[in-house]
Amino acid sequence: MGVSTAVLATPAHAEVVEPPRPAFYEAPATLPSTNGSVIRSEKLTYLLDPLDATSLVRNSTRVLYKTTNRAGRAIAVSGSVLVPNAPWIGPGTRPVIGYAAGTQGMADRCAPSRMYSEGLEYEAIGIEPLLARGYAVAITDYEGLGTAGIHTYMDRVSQGRAVLDIVRAAQRLGVGISATSPVGLQGYSQGGGAAAAAVELASTYAPELRLKGAVVGAVPADLAAVAKNLDGSLFSAFGFFALRGLADSYDMDFSPYLNAAGVKAMTDVEQDCVFDLFSNAFVKSETLTANGQPISSFLTLEPIRSMVEAQRIGKIKPQVPVLVNHSALDDTIPYAQGKAMAKSWCGKGANVRFRTNLAPLHIGGMIPHLNTALPFWEARFTGLPQLSNCWTL
């Protein structure tokens, strides 16, 4: 497979050469006009399965498809579509889950379609049970993760659209998923934000999808509050990812707010994966700013304040049932955020069930989130209603 390189702008608008990426991930000069159109596809192979035994149980496809980013620009995004070979034995046609991956990092090598192929994708613990139940799973790599450009990490609209359009692409691949297939959305952490954004946008952006519900966990619904919580923590890198991604999405130069170390950090983080988070663990953002104040202090200044506020989730009513999971012991995404988002949706008349768990820390909270997803989907895909608990919030 061929490779190519690309040049990117840093927050200081200097040029940085991206490492080579496989040619599959390069967009053609002209993109299709329809969102969710398949640009190209290929068989997704597994590094740990050289004899290709996996193909006996599932069809695994890597896909490059067309979506539209927050700024309204047509872009190519990559992803994966996994479909069990066994016949669907449930009611109707085989459902497809638009699965939004949690934080992968910023570098192209971190893309879920590459990590899954290499046996390094931690989201497999959530994806494999869905496949075992017989659901198809479509996983987006998001804007700029795998493909050219900066990954617009935490951009609400870009992420939500990418999730919806990978489902559309799956329906057009000819792998047993069609326009009549029931659709679900699922994600945790960054993926929780992407799936939550997708369920908010679905009725206007992808109204033709037969959406049945969404399961979202540890949603970073208010980035300003998340930024304060992450600063100086083990997951400081996540805040840097967000600053880097949003700066690119909004074409905003943050370098006047940063010192030399800050500019370097925002440049270097573009080549990090989640496994590199220790490179920035416990770094206090005040050591990276020009005035010695934490980055969170800039979030009250325009146009940064408006940019961050535009990412808030909870303002648009989902039109389908949503299950919201959050650990009261989450050390990364404050529990109050998940509850406030759910309460906001409830106030708009949405069908929401909010589940609190006591799993330790942010990572631990993923387990009960995944455990509640399967019974939720069983009920939704058999046509059973969700009992809202909005009255408790």
Specify whether 176 is located in the same domain as 244: no
Q: Which of 348, 342, 347, 343 is nearest to 323 (CA)?
A: 342
Instruction: Give yes or no for a contact between 243 and 226, defined as CB atoms under 8 angstroms apart.
Output: no
Specify whether 190 is located in the same domain as 256: no
Give the integer Cα–Cα distance in Å for 237 and 255. Answer: 18
Give the integer Cα–Cα distance in Å for 331 and 329. Answer: 6
Phi first, then psi, for residue 323 (nearest 5°) are -105, 125
Domain boundary among 277, 309, 341: 309
Specify whether 230 is located in the same domain as 191: no
Residues in the chain: 393
CATH code assigned at 62: 3.40.50.1820
Amino acid code (one letter) for 381: F
Domain boundary among 187, 220, 253: 220
Return per-residue pLDDT of the chain as tens, 393 residues: 344 333 334 443 344 567 789 999 999 999 999 999 999 999 999 999 989 999 999 999 999 999 999 999 999 999 999 999 999 999 999 999 999 999 999 999 999 999 999 999 999 999 999 999 999 999 999 999 999 999 999 999 999 999 999 999 999 999 999 999 999 999 999 999 999 999 999 999 999 999 999 999 999 999 999 998 998 888 888 988 999 999 999 999 888 899 999 999 888 888 999 888 778 888 898 999 899 998 888 888 899 999 999 999 999 999 999 999 999 999 999 999 999 999 999 999 999 999 999 999 999 999 999 999 999 999 999 999 999 999 999
Specify whether 76 is located in the same domain as 111: yes
Give the integer Cα–Cα distance in Å for 351 and 379. Answer: 14
Specify whether 45 is located in the same domain as 108: yes
Give the integer Cα–Cα distance in Å for 129 and 122. Answer: 13
Domain boundary among 309, 339, 359: 309
Q: Which of 73, 43, 129 is nearest to 249 (CA)?
A: 73
Instruction: Give yes or no for a contact between 123 and 191, defined as CB atoms under 8 angstroms apart.
Output: yes
**Is 354 among the domain residues?**
no
Given the structure tokens 């896909």, which residue do they identify?
63
The DSSP bridge partners found for residue 98 are 138, 185
CATH code assigned at 256: 1.10.260.130
Global confidence as pTM: 0.94
pLDDT value for 173? 96
Bridging pattern class, strands 74-84 and 136-140 = antiparallel
Specify whether 241 is located in the same domain as 172: no
Q: Could you tell me the residue range of the domain that residue 293 belongs to?
A: 223-309
**Is 180 among the domain residues?**
yes
**Is 275 among the domain residues?**
yes
pLDDT value for 183? 98
Amino acid code (one letter) for 24: F
Specify whether 108 is located in the same domain as 81: yes
Specify whether 249 is located in the same domain as 209: no
- SS3 at position 324: strand
**Is 136 among the domain residues?**
yes
Element containing residue 5 per DSSP (H, E): strand 3-9
What are the C-alpha distances in Å from 211 to residues 60, 73, 131, 205? Answer: 23, 25, 18, 12
Give the integer Cα–Cα distance in Å for 43 and 1. Answer: 13
- SS3 at position 368: helix
pLDDT value for 1? 39
**Is 68 among the domain residues?**
yes
Specify whether 211 is located in the same domain as 287: no
**Is 385 among the domain residues?**
no
**Is 5 among the domain residues?**
no
Specify whether 195 is located in the same domain as 231: no
pLDDT value for 175? 94
Specify whether 239 is located in the same domain as 201: no
Give the integer Cα–Cα distance in Å for 6 and 9. Answer: 10
**Is 373 among the domain residues?**
no
- SS3 at position 255: helix
Please give the full DSSP string across 161-222, using - where no structure is assigned: HHHHHHHHHHHTTTSS--TTSEEEEEEETHHHHHHHHHHHHHHHHSTTSEEEEEEEES----
Amino acid code (one letter) for 196: A
Whether the CA torsion 351, 355, 361, 364 is positive or negative: it is: negative
Instruction: Give yes or no for a contact between 44 and 114, defined as CB atoms under 8 angstroms apart.
Output: no
Give the integer Cα–Cα distance in Å for 317 and 323. Answer: 14
Specify whether 181 is located in the same domain as 84: yes
Work out how many domains the chain is built from and give that number.
2
DSSP class of residue 252 equals -
